[in-house]
Amino acid sequence: MADHVTIEKGLGPEGRIAVVRFDRGDGINALSPDALRQLTDAARSFEDDAGTSVVVLTGGARSFSAGFDLKDAEGRARRTMDMGTLRRHLKLGPRLTRAWQDMEQVTIGAIEGFCVGGGVALAVALDFRIMARDAHMRVPEIGLGMNMSWQSVPRMLHLMGPARTKQAVILADDRISADDALAWGLVEQVAASGRSYEAAMALAAKVAAQPPISVAMTKLTVNRLAHALDDLASHMDLDQFALASLTEDHKEGVEAFLERRKPRFRGR
């Protein structure tokens, strides 16, 4: 099993900053099932870490993440899974985003290059996002005949409101530039190209200088209020995905993507 995730602790003021780096070294940083598990384990590894109060999550120099790995062998096996096996397998993504959202530490994403699909789902589960000026986001799930799942829709809704969330998700082919992401409320700060990590560390230092217990309590209070109805709103994510995966449009969307052509959807 390749190790895609590295963790460095004891950085910054009083050593209260940790960095989790997800980098497959291929410039794409797709989220294979293996990568999903490693990133989930990384988040959970901070559960009893009283010495860390801020965690910066960063990807590669050219990509935060291209989203779920459609070419991964384990991922492709979904097409032949029975419904019970598929539903269990589809819990990997929501388990990842929930693990990051539920962390007691304040989390900051440093985004370079592109942040696509599952990469966006992971980014919106964090407390703050800093994006390089030449980076972009894209939410391609609907264009592949799927739904945007992993509890991402309510999280995006809290950040951007209903119209922008619909715009980001439904217009699947549209890139969201760093400036648009900032204006929409999808990210909190835009940094110079190649400098998102430095900007994230600067913000992390400010947070780390605050009293850790008060910070943790505030995060928990805000999250509980903001996300109180999220489970209710998104409990069907997984079953919608399973249902959408049975459609002809989904098959066409994936085939068109792999064949680099424009899909033809028929609503069936």
Q: Per-residue pLDDT tens for 19-32? A: 999 999 898 999 99
The predicted model scores a pTM of 0.95
pLDDT band at 208 (very low <50, low <70, confident <90, very high): very high
Least confident piece of the model among 57-61, 71-75, 136-140:
71-75
State residue 75's pLDDT score.
67
- Gap between the Cα atoms of 64 and 67, Å rounded: 9
Mean predicted confidence (pLDDT) in 47-69:
95
State residue 246's pLDDT score.
87
pLDDT band at 1 (very low <50, low <70, confident <90, very high): low
pLDDT at 74 over 80: no
Mean predicted confidence (pLDDT) in 247-259:
91
Mean predicted confidence (pLDDT) in 242-249:
90
pLDDT at 220 over 90: yes
Give the domains, in start order, of the chain with CATH numbers. 5-195+234-258 (3.90.226.10)
pLDDT in tens, 149-202: 999 999 999 999 999 999 999 998 899 999 999 999 999 999 999 999 999 999
Of residues 69 and 132, the one with the higher pLDDT is 132
